[in-house]
Amino acid sequence: MIPNEDINKIRINANIVDIISSYINLEPKGKNFFGICPFHDDHNPSMSVSSEKQIYTCFVCGASGNVFTFVQSYENTTFPDAVNIVAKKIGYNLNYKTSFNKPNKDLLAIVDLANKYYVNNLNSELGKSARKYLSKRQLSDAIIKEFNIGVALNNNLSKVLLEKEYSEKQIINAGIANKGKNLYDIFQNRITFPINNEHGDVIAFSARVYSDETTNKYINSKENLIFKKGNILFNYDKAKNEVNKTKSIIVVEGQFDAIRMYSIGIKNVVATMGTAFTKEHIKLLKKLNVKVVLLMDNDEAGIKSAISSGEELIKNNITTEVIKLSKEKDPDDYIIKNGADKFIEIIKKPISFFEYKLQYLKSDKDLNKSKDLANYINNVIAELNKSDDDILKEITINKLSEEYGVDKEVLTKQLIPKEKKIEPKKIVKKNTPRLNKYDKVSETVLFMMMKDVKYIKNYDRNLGYIPNKEYGQIANDILAFYKINGDFNIADFITYATKNSSYETVLRIINHYDEKNLDYEEFDYYIDLIKKWIKEQQINKLKNEIDNEPDINKQQELNDLLIKLKKESE
């Protein structure tokens, strides 16, 4: 576990606005910052991030917490790993390593060890030929190191893993070896490119020959428990930290294309793993809340891939653009033959997916022929009917009318009238519980305690107990946190509160009460009200005891005590 001292230091030094901005776009509004909430299907900025309180809150789905809880939820990881991620972002030397305390940790550990083995091979004397090949492909030492490129040389890795006491079954399940007569390495005499999941864990390899071009150029790890091609976008773990600078993510087909683009400074790039776009790909891209730019191979298959991918993205309300390459087949070829500067110029000039689709619809038709022209115009109308953009429809209809001499009214009649949109059901936050007057007073006391340590001291000195079990536990936690740390901070206390069941109530209290509407001079009055509540509970308890007490003398004693309590309560 990470020491509390480190957790507190990291939280204090990590500005929540900066950290959350590395994941989603935030815009200042008043004293807070607002962005699209990544924890529900949000279309209007509903997440507020407070620099003052160092907490975030979504006013639609209710997601709330501090910098660690945001990273934990966004990265879908453990709390210690979230702390480690934040530490890395602020340059804090935590000296913490992921313990693979996650599902399939043995498989992840095996693949991680394999990656280190391949990298070590490349840096050894035996890796000289592979290094020469990479140099010929114009990959610098810095890029080789950045992407942990290695080389699988012979059949020794399986033996090494067996010596580490991993079983044959585990090694096979990790996609490192197969079993024939004996266990043998899948990757031999190939350069290895590790494939990471979105958290940066190595989960698989793509391996390329570098000497014998007659065999299959590439072989990839087979799908297994930790590697599903349809769930992965190559370089996503690095690219996701770049998108807030560029406001876009570029999707290419090949890993080498992504590496080549990264090497010339275009780091907001990911590559598909030879599969069509999947729901998981859409989910990963949607999470980034930026436009997607498709840059597929310049061949028939690449064009069809751009069309099908773009349609899926548009269907999921993701702004989509396309970059068209001329001459060369893919970004790698283009950069090698034409240089980085020319490629960067092309990157700056994407076209909308709609425009790209229209060019595609035109590509196999002779528009001088009436039949082809009619088919083209009908296809364009069909595309317009998929759109809700009235301005786009107007512009496109005008262009068609002017370019091809078709009456505008005839074209407009082909448009399907817009149906009334059925508003999607709003995600409603968990209902705020109905509170009686004493619950409200208790929550007010807790809020004030979390705002200023003088109220913590006052509570400790003059009350020290709240009858409601949950509120009492929160008060005890606040008191304990203050005594341990000698101070109190809401953002740090959230980390402390996550260890018990009061976490959600703490967040609700923090976000529900407006300090401007509180009269801090009334704190003593609130304390007296809780004391009255305690007395009322004691009175009710005594009444029950009197009703159930058979001994007349004891009944009288309890009655005397009841009268005394009632006077004190009044």
pLDDT digits (tens, 9 = 90+) for 438-461: 999 999 999 999 888 999 999 999
Co-location of 82 and 162 in the same domain: no
Rounded percentage of the chain residues whose pLDDT exceeds 70:
92
Asked whether 310 and 234 are in contact (CB, 8 A), the reply is: no
pLDDT digits (tens, 9 = 90+) for 306-338: 999 999 999 888 999 999 988 788 999 999 999
Residue 49, domain CATH: 3.90.580.10
Q: Which of 90, 115, 130 is the last residue of a domain?
A: 90
If pLDDT is split at 50, 70 and 90, which confidence band does 17 have? very high
Out of 38-52, 202-216, 343-357, 399-413, give the one with best mean pLDDT.
343-357
- Rounded to whole angstroms, the Cα distance separating 291 from 220 reads 29
Co-location of 223 and 240 in the same domain: no
The mean pLDDT value for 46-67 works out to: 89
Residue 169, domain CATH: 3.90.980.10
Average pLDDT, the chain: 87
Co-location of 445 and 562 in the same domain: yes
Co-location of 441 and 565 in the same domain: yes
Co-location of 476 and 555 in the same domain: yes
pLDDT reported for residue 565? 67
- Rounded to whole angstroms, the Cα distance separating 108 from 114 reads 10
Residue 270, domain CATH: 3.40.1360.10
In a domain, 402, yes or no: yes
**Amino acid making up residue 225:** L
pLDDT reported for residue 258? 96
Q: Is the pLDDT of residue 417 over 50?
A: yes
pLDDT reported for residue 290? 87
How large is the angle between the packed helices 469-485 and 490-497, nearest 10 degrees?
Answer: 120
Co-location of 223 and 242 in the same domain: no
Q: Phi then psi for 134, rounded to 5 degrees?
A: -65, -35
Co-location of 82 and 138 in the same domain: no
pLDDT reported for residue 79? 86
**Stronger pLDDT, 104 or 319, i.e. the higher one:** 319
Q: Are strands 248-252 and 291-294 parallel, antiparallel or unpaired?
A: parallel
Number of other residues whose CB lies within 10 A of the CB of residue 522 = 14
The CA distances from residue 76 to 68, 156, 237, in Å, are 12, 35, 13
Residue 447, domain CATH: 1.10.860
Co-location of 183 and 303 in the same domain: no
pLDDT reported for residue 100? 46
Q: Is the pLDDT of residue 422 over 50?
A: no
Structural domain that includes position 470: 437-569
Q: Which of 58, 90, 122 is the last residue of a domain?
A: 90
Q: Which of 165, 198, 227 is the last residue of a domain?
A: 227
SS3 162: helix
In a domain, 78, yes or no: yes
The CA distances from residue 492 to 17, 131, 522, in Å, are 15, 48, 27
pLDDT reported for residue 427? 46
Co-location of 309 and 272 in the same domain: yes
pLDDT reported for residue 514? 66
Q: Is the pLDDT of residue 151 over 80?
A: yes
| Strand-pair partners of 194 | 205
In a domain, 432, yes or no: no
In a domain, 529, yes or no: yes
Residue 499 buriedness (CB in 10 A; 0-12 / 13-18 / 19+):
exposed
Q: Is the pLDDT of residue 242 over 90?
A: no
Co-location of 219 and 275 in the same domain: no
Co-location of 472 and 533 in the same domain: yes
Domain count of the fold of the chain: 5
Co-location of 240 and 346 in the same domain: yes
Among 211, 229, 213, 230, CA closest to 221: 229
In a domain, 510, yes or no: yes
- Rounded to whole angstroms, the Cα distance separating 331 from 400 reads 33
